[in-house]
């Protein structure tokens, strides 16, 4: 078994305070998630896992299943870097931000670094982590499997949006952009 580190972002129906925070943490623990730590900001919970599993997908899905048992919580996303700035990508890949910046500007490498996905003209453009991970893996700069885990994270996050009805209008746009 391998250990996988990831976080779930959840919202709570009630504001989490110092006084009642332990109740939510206890409920998560009682649901079987005894390998996580819980922090909160207002009604947002960050549930950090270090989970042993055969693979990343099983680790994340089992954590979601356990946390979903707590009725007052809604899981919003897997916070393992779907859209990232270069600093986040550096942290996820164990490379330096400077190296990734040089790759992104074509100052290093073959000039094929993925293009930004969002905020392209901003000071801190956002990239699709799965694209960066795939590129880094193809160049032998990260361990094998990182790109697959990034792809799984993106797919699970899309599934969570679909589950909560946030993408009901999307099908209309799919036909309009084809």
Please name the residues in contact with 75: beta carbons below 8 A apart, sequence gap of 6 or more: 8, 9, 10, 64, 67, 68, 160
Mean pLDDT of successive 10-residue stretches along the chain, which has 178 residues? 95 78 90 95 91 97 97 91 90 94 94 91 91 96 93 93 75 77
Task: Tokens for 112, please give them.
Answer: 């094929």
CB 142 within 8 A of CB 133: yes
Residue 84 confidence (pLDDT): 93
Q: At what angle do helices 146-163 and 56-67 cross, to 10 degrees?
A: 30
Residue 170 confidence (pLDDT): 72
Convert 123-162 to b/e letters by CB count within 10 Å (16 or more is b). eebbbbbbbbbbbbbeeebbeeebbbbbbbbbebbeebee
Please name the residues in contact with 127: beta carbons below 8 A apart, sequence gap of 6 or more: 83, 84, 85, 86, 89, 114, 115, 116, 117
- Which spans in the chain are helix H? 21-30, 56-67, 86-93, 97-105, 129-138, 146-163, 170-176
Residue listed under structure tokens 């925070």: 21
What is the set of domains in the chain, with CATH numbers?
2-79 (3.30.70.3400), 83-147 (1.10.10)
Please tell me the pTM assigned to this model.
0.84
Q: What are phi and psi of 78, to 5 degrees?
A: -95, 120
Distances in Å between the alpha carbon of 22 and those of 14, 28, 58? Answer: 13, 10, 27
Residue 33 confidence (pLDDT): 97
Q: Which of 121, 118, 124, 130 is nearest to 85 (CA)?
A: 124
């Amino acid at each position: 078994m391998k250990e996988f580190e990831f976080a779930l972002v959840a919202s709570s129906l009630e504001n989490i305070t110092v006084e009642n925070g332990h109740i939510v943490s206890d409920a998560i623990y009682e649901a079987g998630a005894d390998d996580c730590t819980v922090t909160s900001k207002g009604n947002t919970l960050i549930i950090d896992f270090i989970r042993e599993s055969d693979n990343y997908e099983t680790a994340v899905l089992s954590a979601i299943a356990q946390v979903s048992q707590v009725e007052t919580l809604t899981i919003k996303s897997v916070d393992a870097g779907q859209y990232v700035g270069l600093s986040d990508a550096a942290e996820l890949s164990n490379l330096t931000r400077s190296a990734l910046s040089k790759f992104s500007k074509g100052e290093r490498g073959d000039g094929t670094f993925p293009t930004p996905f969002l905020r392209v003209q901003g000071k801190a453009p956002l990239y699709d982590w799965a694209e960066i991970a795939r590129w880094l893996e193809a160049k032998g700069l990260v361990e094998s499997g990182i790109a697959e885990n990034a792809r799984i994270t993106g797919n699970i996050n899309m599934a969570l949006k679909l589950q909560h009805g946030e993408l009901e209008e999307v099908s209309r746009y799919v036909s309009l952009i084809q």
